Structure 1
């Protein structure tokens, strides 16, 4: 045995040389449920499908024709080694906590495409071996390649190129490519300068409210009003298409065809027609289904009597015999459902349900793509007979790893189910009527209504994005026809309606509601539960400091509203009590009022600075019926270190930040009266607890009355 052979036998990270018929993906890396065909090493095209279990990810391929022939064999071996090998732990130790010994299928493809770009660059310089890529070539390539992209992208490219050297070391026949100089010198000097102070943040913008409002109106209208009509029309269209395909040519069918079609032509009545590639043609399938004639018979009649010209001049509808139940402003939205429109409406119905899910759940696009029929079962009735909550059981995919810490393409079941409100449940039920039991709700196989492409998995993001744009165009045309100019969907000032923008938009709206931050923490599963505990900065990152900047703006405006209300109440003669009353009055006097003003982009930083003023920012707490003049050291709600806002859901009696007005005292007594009413109809132990709570609320109100002062006495 040679020394090289002995080293390979000992070093388990070095792979054996593949044969021409070796599988591109070795069996141990293919999950049991993955049935996609595997490529062979000698093939000119390698499929990455055996590594992809996420239904929302495209089944990408690697085309070796794009790699220069002199370097192809070496690149193939390095790529095969990356697909089936694992980076050494000693190499990963220098890469940071996010480094993985194996990456996902799409990332592997991106890495290999970067390698091919390098190969073409070397080939242009007549370098025919990777071993000819020395330190000088690395430096020249880095200067040329990295200046074209952002700093963050350049850093990713450097990692991918360094992996070429690392995996080459693990191949059975190393090419001898030189280690990139940034591996020893540090990468900073090779990267372009940062172009903004907030580089690296996600720049996805929330949808403009003027866009989101009518878009959601049309989406929910489809789901709630139009779905039954569209599904019935599609079923009837499919039935007619099957009839037409099965019809046999007979004398009787020819006679029936002439008897039905010719009088219409002679009378000048519009003939049933459709549009094929912008050309008006006779609706042959529709006519065949209604008359019992075969396709060939319809074609012969059309040619014999010159019906194509008549149909082009006077195209008529193809009404379906289904009822129309949907309404717009109390009137039927269609005179009849049309054979030609059914496929388009089915596509828009699936899009409308997707929009509803994306916005009203807060799911990531991949999580919506991974939903299956049956994911949201009807709940069992509660003990008291009330209907339970609908929960969505789904998979999530972001940052999911296997036992070895490597990316898991299949994702995993989300530990906390999504809470589904009624419109979401309706959308799921509509999608469940479009696909078989257990199938993906957005299954490509069942959402291609006009052409079958045979794509696997769910509709991909690019397809869904195009369908949303098409849905907007349809809705605007329909709004114009229906005279609903106020429901037109305008163009978003921040560009296309991308799928990820729905999730960001929901966070923006929920956060401002009472208890909204807690709702976000529960629903999103990882968002901050207090305003400044930025535990979710990875999700929240956007331009201008991410979603947290938006929350800061909204919270600052809410705090200003609270201060304004306190000023108004004091000006109206109400008294103020509480250990923080003096601080609250000072804060209210110095806090500007925001009424109907436009908040500019620059306000985000001012809002953050405003909230950081410890002790003089006022937070309304309608659940505890008080104002919190939040001062971190006084807070009994145990805020996080450095927090600038209270845990409003954990407000505790006796806190040194408490402030109450006469209005709060009145509301305390009203709530106590409500509890007494409940107690009168509750069982003994429950009634006792309710009355105890009512007495406590009245004592709190009495304490206010006895300790409250007018503002003049406190300032």
Structure 2
């Protein structure tokens, strides 16, 4: 913000940043966390400021770790460099002298980079629309720009927040900007209403569940196959030098014998390329031609040329290979296929059951090229799984290092570094469950980087020379994993994942919505999300972040209905076995309703089987719907089930008749109310209460009134516990 001059005092002319700062001034200082020995960019560099001199987060590629300035106009270029310098050096004397007081903590390079990119968009729009110079903009100009972004571009960027930051910065720093900044307050143009539709979206339940199931299948069932195949097909270590094979020095008879044995194994297939030619009669004819160099390598080893046309023996072997290929013993390779495209049989891979009912290895063959795809898929699966179940930010996930598993307050956790809103990386701990620990163990095997788990998938040469770069493009990894699962679901047995847009920050949002439905979920979420360093209860940020949308509200309702249906059919199955399912004042009503439902199911299914078998074999949803008809007012509870009838309710007897709409849980009297039925599922709570009351009554120091109250409570509890132990 900028501070206005006191009333009645003359306002001294403030210098702009370009006037006060020499072009040779370093733009980063020790406060920004400089890397020793790396040159620091200077203010006079007009095209870009490289960020090699400050530590780079793993989730940002080296090519993006810089600030690129707009070059279409000298004024906007100078303005952009001044804004960047002011954000990186917020306590510089020129800003303080002009009354510009922003946060004393320098902005992160990634924040400045994104802001300058949006500043360039703003400048190009102003130039294209022939807008006046920035100091002369009014509210209509800002509104026009916001409308332009909403109409043309913000659907790709998903948010107007960066543009609000640009406009606010131009307003706050206008006294120190060459040619001036934004004179009016932009908050009226970029309102909460215009940003309402740009909040973080959740992942749709139709995508969420199959995505997590596929990710876990790769981690738990396929990972060992993939990593073992990597060691067999593309082992780590320096590549062996390719030297001419000694095949030419062996007798032709020996080479023929080796080739004959190779052909005798029908699992070996001649690599061929398939082409189509037009015949003299004008018809298309498909021709298969063996890949002779690949075949020589497969049969006689690297460097072999045993299928050339230079000798009689080589030509004879060519004829045999062509005959075998024509007979169907071949594998078709792409036109530009090489040795990495040769498929290797994988009968030892994990057996799966597919959608068509067949079983077999989840991949029957695997080439070196396929192996690279599977390694990328495994990495994408691990990323999705860790992001979903840890609720970490992308920057925090990609900072996970080897040996990250630990404990925090006696609970399994992982260590990483929090970067957001921190002057320097801060080590934090996130609670996890065992499957996440399994995913990290897989990543430690997968990664070739000496410290970090999420890395680029480089070539074998780069891995062996230690040049694997930490960090990955998370959005690409997610998209590639979903595409890969859908392309191979017919062999892996995984269900297809709907093709929707999924981005890293949506995992955190979606899991927050799910966890927010649990008791005290907001408090746990606030700690896990790292929304605040100190708290007693969850703050409003956590509450709004975990608010469910329409799709997840329907998902929660469906799951509640499914759970209720399971409870109802469980009671019905027990009752049709001829045993009581409940005790208490309303037990007889519950039994009557269950018996009527069982009788109707018997009538629907016929009388050829015992009633118990018919009820158990009935469709769960059909049985549940029937039970809801017979017991429309049944409500499940922790201490008892309530067969709600307003006139009999002990909890509502003091209320006027028109206010007895639903049970009052806090006033429930389960031992005395004629609506109460207690089942075997409730027994542990009642027996524990009985034991606790009995123990308290052994205290001889109890006052008479307290003893009488405890004894009355024990008498009520014994009414239920006696019935539970005798009747159920």
Per the TM superposition, whether the score is higher than 0.5 is yes
- Is 1:293 equivalent to 2:289 in the alignment? no
- Is 1:539 equivalent to 2:538 in the alignment? no
Q: Is the CA contact (8 Å cut-off) linking 2:415 and 2:430 kept in structure 1?
A: yes
Q: After superposition, where does 1:61-76 map in structure 2 within 5 Å?
A: 61-64=66-69, 66-69=71-74, 71-73=76-78, 75-76=80-81
Secondary structure of the residue aligned to 1:222 is: helix
Task: Give, in angstroms, the shift of residue 560 of structure 1.
Answer: 9.4
The partner residue of 1:502 within 507, 514, 519 is 507
Q: Could you tell me which residue of structure 1 aligns to residue 591 of structure 2?
A: none
Task: Give, in angstroms, the shift of residue 346 of structure 1.
Answer: 1.1
Task: Give, in angstroms, the shift of residue 390 of structure 1.
Answer: 3.0
Q: Is the CA contact (8 Å cut-off) linking 1:372 and 1:439 kept in structure 2?
A: yes
- Is 1:390 equivalent to 2:412 in the alignment? yes
The partner residue of 1:463 within 466, 469, 476 is 476
Distance in structure 1 (CA, Å) of the matches to 2:221 and 2:556: 38
The superposition leaves residues 29-67 of structure 1 with CA deviations (integer Å, 9 ceiling, x where unpaired) of 1355x9977545436332345456432234423444643
Q: Could you tell me which residue of structure 1 aligns to residue 382 of structure 2?
A: 353
Secondary structure of the residue aligned to 1:393 is: strand
Q: Which moved more, 1:352-361 or 1:281-290?
A: 281-290
- Is 1:79 equivalent to 2:84 in the alignment? yes
The structure-2 alpha-carbon separation of the partners of 1:676 and 1:181, relative to structure 1 and needing over 3 Å to count, comes to closer
Q: Could you tell me which residue of structure 2 aligns to residue 204 of structure 1?
A: 201
The superposition leaves residues 655-702 of structure 1 with CA deviations (integer Å, 9 ceiling, x where unpaired) of 65665675448666545768999xxxxxxx9xx99xxxxxx9998563
Q: Could you tell me which residue of structure 1 aligns to residue 232 of structure 2?
A: 236
The partner residue of 1:115 within 119, 126, 130 is 119
Task: Give, in angstroms, the shift of residue 156 of structure 1.
Answer: 5.0
The structure-2 alpha-carbon separation of the partners of 1:281 and 1:36, relative to structure 1 and needing over 3 Å to count, comes to farther
Q: Could you tell me which residue of structure 2 aligns to residue 692 of structure 1?
A: none
Secondary structure of the residue aligned to 1:537 is: helix
Q: Could you tell me which residue of structure 1 aligns to residue 48 of structure 2?
A: 45
Secondary structure of the residue aligned to 1:394 is: strand
The structure-2 alpha-carbon separation of the partners of 1:512 and 1:659, relative to structure 1 and needing over 3 Å to count, comes to farther
Q: Is the CA contact (8 Å cut-off) linking 2:174 and 2:182 kept in structure 1?
A: no
- Is 1:147 equivalent to 2:144 in the alignment? no
Q: After superposition, where does 1:635-646 map in structure 2 within 5 Å?
A: none
The structure-2 alpha-carbon separation of the partners of 1:539 and 1:215, relative to structure 1 and needing over 3 Å to count, comes to same
The superposition leaves residues 562-590 of structure 1 with CA deviations (integer Å, 9 ceiling, x where unpaired) of 9999x999x9884279xxxxxxxxxxxxx
Task: Give, in angstroms, the shift of residue 15 of structure 1.
Answer: 8.5
Task: Give, in angstroms, the shift of residue 465 of structure 1.
Answer: 2.6
The structure-2 alpha-carbon separation of the partners of 1:337 and 1:392, relative to structure 1 and needing over 3 Å to count, comes to same
Q: Is the CA contact (8 Å cut-off) linking 1:89 and 1:101 kept in structure 2?
A: no
The superposition leaves residues 227-260 of structure 1 with CA deviations (integer Å, 9 ceiling, x where unpaired) of 222112112222399555x12236x155579948
Distance in structure 1 (CA, Å) of the matches to 2:474 and 2:30: 29
Q: Which moved more, 1:280-289 or 1:348-357?
A: 280-289
Q: Could you tell me which residue of structure 1 aligns to residue 243 of structure 2?
A: 248
- Is 1:315 equivalent to 2:295 in the alignment? no
Q: Could you tell me which residue of structure 2 aligns to residue 575 of structure 1?
A: 585
Distance in structure 2 (CA, Å) of the matches to 1:236 and 1:454: 22
Task: Give, in angstroms, the shift of residue 193 of structure 1.
Answer: 9.1
Q: Is the CA contact (8 Å cut-off) linking 1:347 and 1:447 kept in structure 2?
A: no
Secondary structure of the residue aligned to 1:428 is: helix
Q: Is the CA contact (8 Å cut-off) linking 1:206 and 1:505 kept in structure 2?
A: yes
Task: Give, in angstroms, the shift of residue 155 of structure 1.
Answer: 6.8
Task: Give, in angstroms, the shift of residue 108 of structure 1.
Answer: 1.1
Q: Could you tell me which residue of structure 1 aligns to residue 351 of structure 2?
A: 327
Distance in structure 2 (CA, Å) of the matches to 1:229 and 1:365: 28
Distance in structure 1 (CA, Å) of the matches to 2:470 and 2:247: 42
- Is 1:216 equivalent to 2:212 in the alignment? yes
Distance in structure 2 (CA, Å) of the matches to 1:618 and 1:180: 65
Q: Which moved more, 1:232-241 or 1:315-324?
A: 315-324
Secondary structure of the residue aligned to 1:249 is: coil
- Is 1:441 equivalent to 2:453 in the alignment? yes
The structure-2 alpha-carbon separation of the partners of 1:213 and 1:21, relative to structure 1 and needing over 3 Å to count, comes to same
The superposition leaves residues 84-130 of structure 1 with CA deviations (integer Å, 9 ceiling, x where unpaired) of 344868999999xxx77643322212221233334445655889xxx
Distance in structure 1 (CA, Å) of the matches to 2:47 and 2:299: 50
Secondary structure of the residue aligned to 1:103 is: coil
Task: Give, in angstroms, the shift of residue 147 of structure 1.
Answer: 1.6
Q: Could you tell me which residue of structure 1 aligns to residue 486 of structure 2?
A: 473
Distance in structure 1 (CA, Å) of the matches to 2:525 and 2:509: 11
Secondary structure of the residue aligned to 2:149 is: coil
| Stretches of structure 2 lacking an aligned partner (at least 5 in a row) | 1-12, 275-287, 334-340, 354-358, 576-580, 588-619, 623-632, 645-650, 652-664, 700-708, 722-728
Secondary structure of the residue aligned to 1:457 is: coil
Q: Could you tell me which residue of structure 1 aligns to residue 403 of structure 2?
A: 374
Secondary structure of the residue aligned to 1:359 is: helix
Q: Is the CA contact (8 Å cut-off) linking 1:286 and 1:318 kept in structure 2?
A: no
Q: Is the CA contact (8 Å cut-off) linking 1:24 and 1:80 kept in structure 2?
A: yes
| Stretches of structure 1 lacking an aligned partner (at least 5 in a row) | 1-9, 383-387, 403-407, 578-594, 598-616, 635-650, 678-684, 690-695, 709-715
The structure-2 alpha-carbon separation of the partners of 1:355 and 1:122, relative to structure 1 and needing over 3 Å to count, comes to closer
Secondary structure of the residue aligned to 1:413 is: strand
Distance in structure 1 (CA, Å) of the matches to 2:213 and 2:437: 16
- Is 1:488 equivalent to 2:512 in the alignment? no
Distance in structure 2 (CA, Å) of the matches to 1:29 and 1:135: 31
The partner residue of 2:393 within 364, 369, 379 is 364
The structure-2 alpha-carbon separation of the partners of 1:280 and 1:242, relative to structure 1 and needing over 3 Å to count, comes to farther
Task: Give, in angstroms, the shift of residue 318 of structure 1.
Answer: 3.5
The structure-2 alpha-carbon separation of the partners of 1:273 and 1:395, relative to structure 1 and needing over 3 Å to count, comes to farther
Task: Give, in angstroms, the shift of residue 376 of structure 1.
Answer: 1.2
Q: Is the CA contact (8 Å cut-off) linking 1:229 and 1:323 kept in structure 2?
A: no
The structure-2 alpha-carbon separation of the partners of 1:122 and 1:359, relative to structure 1 and needing over 3 Å to count, comes to closer
The structure-2 alpha-carbon separation of the partners of 1:673 and 1:572, relative to structure 1 and needing over 3 Å to count, comes to closer
Q: Could you tell me which residue of structure 1 aligns to residue 609 of structure 2?
A: none
How many pairs are equivalent? 571
Larger radius of gyration: 2
Distance in structure 1 (CA, Å) of the matches to 2:168 and 2:520: 48
The structure-2 alpha-carbon separation of the partners of 1:358 and 1:707, relative to structure 1 and needing over 3 Å to count, comes to closer
The structure-2 alpha-carbon separation of the partners of 1:154 and 1:91, relative to structure 1 and needing over 3 Å to count, comes to farther
Task: Give, in angstroms, the shift of residue 433 of structure 1.
Answer: 0.5
**RMSD value, Cα:** 6.1
Q: Is the CA contact (8 Å cut-off) linking 2:70 and 2:120 kept in structure 1?
A: no
Q: Is the CA contact (8 Å cut-off) linking 1:253 and 1:293 kept in structure 2?
A: no
Q: Is the CA contact (8 Å cut-off) linking 2:405 and 2:412 kept in structure 1?
A: yes
Higher relative contact order (CA 8 A, sep 6+): 1
Q: Could you tell me which residue of structure 2 aligns to residue 413 of structure 1?
A: 427
Task: Give, in angstroms, the shift of residue 169 of structure 1.
Answer: 3.7
Distance in structure 2 (CA, Å) of the matches to 1:454 and 1:207: 38
Q: After superposition, where does 1:269-284 map in structure 2 within 5 Å?
A: 270-272=269-271
The structure-2 alpha-carbon separation of the partners of 1:435 and 1:563, relative to structure 1 and needing over 3 Å to count, comes to closer
Secondary structure of the residue aligned to 1:372 is: coil
The structure-2 alpha-carbon separation of the partners of 1:20 and 1:357, relative to structure 1 and needing over 3 Å to count, comes to same
Q: Could you tell me which residue of structure 1 aligns to residue 284 of structure 2?
A: none
The structure-2 alpha-carbon separation of the partners of 1:158 and 1:391, relative to structure 1 and needing over 3 Å to count, comes to closer
Distance in structure 1 (CA, Å) of the matches to 2:26 and 2:549: 44
Secondary structure of the residue aligned to 1:469 is: helix
Q: Is the CA contact (8 Å cut-off) linking 1:324 and 1:334 kept in structure 2?
A: no
Q: Could you tell me which residue of structure 1 aligns to residue 422 of structure 2?
A: 401
Distance in structure 1 (CA, Å) of the matches to 2:97 and 2:232: 64
